[in-house]
Amino acid sequence: MTVLDNTPRDQYTATGGQVAFPYTFEITAEGDIAVLQNGVLLSLGAGAGEYAVTGVGSDTGGVVTLVTGATAGDIITLYRDMALERLTGYTNGGDFLAADVNNDYDRLWLALQQGAADTDRAVRKPNVDSSAINMVLPVAASRAQKLLAFDANGAVKVESYLNNETIVLVVQTEVGDGVTTTYSLETSTNSPSLLQIAIDGVLQEVSSYGVSGGNLVFSAAPPLQSAIEIRAFVQKEITSTDLKASDFTGDGSTTSFTLGYSAVKSNTFVYIDGVYQLKNTYSVSGTTITFSTAPPLNSVIEVVIAAFTTSVIATPSADSVGTAQLQDNAVTTAKIADDAVTAAKLASDAVVTASIVDDNVTQAKIADDAVGADQLASNAVVTASISDDAVTAAKIASEPISVGITSVVTATSLTATVNTHVYVSAATQTITLPASPAIGQRVLITVGNFTDTVVARNGSNIMSSATDFTLDAAYLSIQFIYTDATQGWVMS
């Protein structure tokens, strides 16, 4: 029997209920094949969760049949896992049968293929590298709780942290909705190589996501209700580091365990029977770790703590911070105490009108005789601003003061507007005074050569009378000035 040149390993993504999975390599016994379902080793047998094998001895392989159908998406891995042993013995003068010799030699070649497959999946030095480059690990005492690294020549070495720089893990959790591919990162980074992403506890390949504009962007949306854990490596100024571990054994009921060291959740790595636990499955307070569900009976619990000794920046001593230590525009109003800025701290011409709140300059802030005519806007002085008996003859111009009255000539009845001179040019007309006048408003009415023009009061008294007024003389001109609700319009 010949041995074909093939790889003794096959892997499938199962469909729902699938039970048959072909293997494409030779085995000489049923026990020479290993079957993994989502990384869990299954047993040969006829019970639930077990499997059967056909095609033993065929150089093209056979079929592994699961007793219980797989769930859609299950990863089924089949590989040769024969014992490296020799069970055939040859004696002097005994039979030397071709079948026995072929089977014995076949197992040698199958074992070599199995070893080559294991080597192909191992980390190893490429042929182009020099044989002088040392790839041997340091002894256990030297590499314990250290990170594997490589020196300038590519040789193996160990360090507390890569490149002697301290890396702190900042953990962020999200929940997938089956649609969203972009998640905002809580920790700024511009390189996906500084992130470790796990979805439902499965570490994701770096090629499956990227970083853009402070966001984590997946090439495909994580599944609905999937637990996404984003671990960001952040460089910190830390003077020394150490990894500390606490080990426990689960009893199926205890949820809280006392750690050998104080910890924070973000800097813990928890494993139960070697399986990494998501951060949302436990909490940490001081030296106590509490699981949301009790670890199983006899499970091995390992809690690794990244402990750091940090450089603490103390509060500066009094008068030790000068202007050179402050960035431009770095002092905000919130940092200035109330009433702390005096006139001596303000440069000449430093306060502009935009810096003064509306209506915020009082008389006490204006020096005597400081306001001249140039500082007064047109029409800025009203009668309320002039003290009684304060206008002297010297302040009155020789020309008459304009009262701002507008003249209107009408041959029909109309309602006058305030501060209007109405000249009535036709008889039997009614001029109605403005409604709801304000004190001081006026109307001047002049009539022609007739005596029957009526002035309607429009709801206000005229000379304290609630009756309309008739101009009963030709060429009469009367000014009506509103005073108050009692007198109403008075005439002058």
* Residues forming beta bridges with residue 406, ordered by sequence position: 420
User: What mean pLDDT do residues 330-337 have?
Assistant: 80
The average pLDDT across 280-291 equals 92
C-alpha separations of 351 from 218, 254, 335, 485 in Å: 54, 70, 20, 48
End-to-end CA distance of the chain: 139
pTM of full prediction above 0.85: no
User: pLDDT averaged over the chain?
Assistant: 84
Distance CA 392, CA 158 (A): 101
Buried b (16+ CB within 10 A) or exposed e, 52-73: ebebeeeeebbebebeeebeee
Tally Cβ neighbours within 10 Å of residue 462.
21
pLDDT range class, residue 307, cuts 50, 70, 90: low
Instruction: Check if the beta carbon of residue 296 is closer than 8 Å to that of residue 290.
Output: no
User: What pLDDT digit, counting tens, does each position of 481-492 carry?
Assistant: 999 999 999 998
Residues 6+ apart with CB under 8 A from 367: none
Nearest alpha carbon to residue 241 among 320, 307, 317: 307
Residue 386 has pLDDT above 50, yes or no: yes
Asked if pLDDT for residue 466 goes beyond 80, the answer is: yes
Provide the pLDDT confidence category of residue 312 given band limits of 50, 70 and 90.
very low
Average confidence (pLDDT) over 14-27: 95
| Percent of the chain surpassing pLDDT 70 | 90
Bridge partner residues of 481 (DSSP): 442, 490
Tell me the average pLDDT across 376-382.
72
Q: What is the pLDDT of residues 80-136, one digit of tens each?
A: 998 888 777 777 877 777 777 777 778 888 888 888 888 777 888 888 888 889 888
Q: Are 25 and 77 within 8 A, CB to CB? A: no
Mean pLDDT of 194-206: 89
**pLDDT band for position 318 (50/70/90)?**
low
Q: What does the chain come to in residues? A: 492
Name residues whose C-beta falls within 8 Å of residue 112's C-beta, 6 or more positions apart in sequence.
none
Pick from 295, 305, 244, 243: nearest CA to 274? 295
The pLDDT tens digits for 142-169 are 888 778 888 888 998 887 654 445 456 6
Measure the CA–CA gap between 46 and 68, rounded to whole angstroms: 10
Tokens of 159: 């360090």
Q: For the chain, where do the domains classified as CATH 2.60.120 start and end?
A: 406-491
* Angle at alpha carbon of residue 258, lines to 257 and 261, rounded to 5°: 135
Instruction: Write b or e for each residue in 8-46: b if 16 or more Cβ atoms lie within 10 A of its Cβ, otherwise e.
Output: bbbebebeeebeebebebbbeeeebbbbebeeeebeeee
In angstroms, rounded to a whole number, what is the distance separating the alpha carbons of residues 323 and 453?
A: 83
Q: Are the C-beta atoms of residues 136 and 29 closer than 8 Å to each other?
A: no
Q: Which CATH code is given to the segment(s) 406-491?
A: 2.60.120
Q: Cβ(35)–Cβ(12) under 8 Å?
A: no
CA-atom Rg of the chain in angstroms: 50
By percentage, how much of the chain surpasses pLDDT 90?
A: 45
The H or E element that residue 454 is part of is strand 453-456
Q: Which residues of 349-374 are buried (b: 16+ CB within 10 A; e: fewer)?
A: eeeeeeeeeeeeeeeeeeeeeeeeee
Specify the 3-state DSSP secondary structure of 108.
helix
Distances (CA, A) of 458 to 106, 402, 462, 476, 478: 125, 27, 10, 21, 17
* Structure confidence at residue 309 (pLDDT): 46
- 200 or 94, higher pLDDT: 200
C-alpha to C-alpha distance for 317 and 152, rounded to whole angstroms? 44
